[in-house]
Amino acid sequence: MVRVRSSLAQLPAYVPGRKLPGTAALAGNESPYGMLPGVVARLAELAGGVSRYPDMSAACLVDALARHHGVEPERIAVGAGSSEVCGQLLHAVVHPGDEVVFGWRSFEAYPILTAVAGGTAVRVPLREHGLDLDAMAAAVTARTRLVFVCNPNNPTSTAVGERALRDFADRVPDDVLIVVDEAYREYADPARVPDALGLLGDRPNVVVLRTFSKAYGLAGLRVGYCVAPAEIAATVRKTQVPFSVSALAQEAAVLALGEGAEVARRAALTVAERGRVTERLRALGLEVPASQANFVWLPLAGDSAEFTRHCLDGNVVVRPFAGEGVRVTIGLPEENDTFLALAASWRG
């Protein structure tokens, strides 16, 4: 009989935001604005070419990203979503039993991908809905190979500031990879939330993770990437499943990068709506931590399931985390209005 790895037996499955026809989809942290206008038409043209394999080195995309960030192309590695790049980074540095540190709760793929890579997850409790970087630095041991810093943090939406991030990086030994996951960067206030590439990009152990799934509106095409020291990026590339980033995904990402003004405009709309939603929820007496992402976090603890059911009854799908809270993606203004009306009528 084939024996599967026992370390995977207890692994929780990744729970994606539910999709139900005819409801407002506020569970998946996607952009509500659809694909960028310059991307749609070109993809239809390109679809005819998919009988051929994509460019495995994703050269055009890598060059475009290198120009976008002002770094050498050697420092970029792309993957089928930044989730895949997370896994690749783990495979690049984790030996069986090595420790991987992250705040908890955070992005639910971290423990799953850590276990798949054979590592041991070390979860450091959050403090006031945010990463406790002091406690995370203290959790680093001689067995630690990688630390995820999710900034802003999913699902609690808060972000750490420049001083805290720099102090943290100073405390972590340089044989430990610090992966700053900036999936929600475009929604963060640049005056309050550091761009890790600008702040720490020169360090030999810092990797910045970005995605096209959120502000760039390409969640369904699966493209993400990291900017890393060249040697680490080269190893990450070796861990990639051949051709994992499809031809359409590569093209769409290059086109989307060229639509920076529209991306910024849409992100600003989401940020404005986030402010409105936060204020209204607080006026209803709900606790809402200050969000730097495209979602808000309601730490409803034991009421999370009931609140989620109430929203679903009103055709709005939100994302519960049992016993902890509910994450609500900022949608279109009318979707947010529907959600706010439901929040107002909850136990009302």
- If 0-12 CB within 10 Å is exposed, 13-18 middle and 19+ buried, where does residue 134 land? middle
Asked if 211 is part of the footprint of ligand PMP (rule: CB under 6 A), the reply reads yes
Residue 331 engages ligand PMP in binding (rule: CB under 6 A): no
Reply yes or no: is the peptide bond before residue 152 cis, omega within 30 of 0. yes
Please report how close the Cβ of residue 313 comes to ligand PMP at its closest, in angstroms. 25
Would the CA dihedral through 64, 66, 72, 74 be positive or negative? Answer: negative
Which residue in 25, 26, 27, 29 binds ligand PMP (CB under 6 A)? 29
Q: Does residue 186 touch ligand PMP according to CB under 6 A?
A: no
Q: Does 82 bind ligand PMP (CB under 6 A)?
A: yes
d(CA 244, CA 240): 7
Query: Is residue 183 near ligand PMP by the rule CB under 6 A?
Result: yes
Query: Please, what's the largest Cα pairwise distance for the chain?
Result: 60
CA distance 19 to 132: 33
* Residue closer to ligand PMP, measured from CB, 168 or 225: 225
User: Contact between 332 and ligand PMP (CB under 6 A)?
Assistant: no
Both tokens assigned to 11: 């692994």
- Residue 45's SS3 state is helix
Contact in structure between 252 and 246 (CB atoms under 8 Å):
no
Cα distances (Å, whole numbers) of residue 142 to 119, 136, 137, 172, 195: 14, 14, 12, 11, 28
Residue pair 289/97 in contact by the 8 Å Cβ criterion: no
Q: Give me the 118-157 binding string for ligand PMP, x by CB under 6 A, dash otherwise.
A: --------------------------------x---x---
* 181 touching ligand PMP, by CB under 6 A: yes
CB nearer to ligand PMP: pick between 32 and 81? 81
What are the helix (H) ranges across the chain? 37-46, 59-69, 81-93, 109-116, 133-138, 162-171, 196-200, 230-238, 247-257, 260-283, 304-313, 333-345
Of the listed pieces 76-84, 229-237, 276-284, 322-330, which binds ligand PMP according to CB under 6 A? 76-84
81 contributes a contact to ligand PMP by CB under 6 A: yes
- Nearest residue to ligand PMP by CB is 81
* Contact flag: residue 216 with ligand PMP (CB under 6 A): no
Closest separation between CB of residue 83 and ligand PMP, Å? Answer: 3
* Closer CB to ligand PMP, 85 or 340, in the complex: 85
Nearer to ligand PMP, 208 or 342 (CB): 208
| 8 Å CB contact between 145 and 177 | yes
Of the candidate residues 199, 219, 290, 332, the single one contacting ligand PMP (CB under 6 A): 219
CB of 344 to ligand PMP, least distance (A): 28
Please report, as ranges, the residues that interact with ligand PMP according to CB under 6 A. 29, 81-83, 107, 150, 154, 181, 183, 211, 213, 219, 224
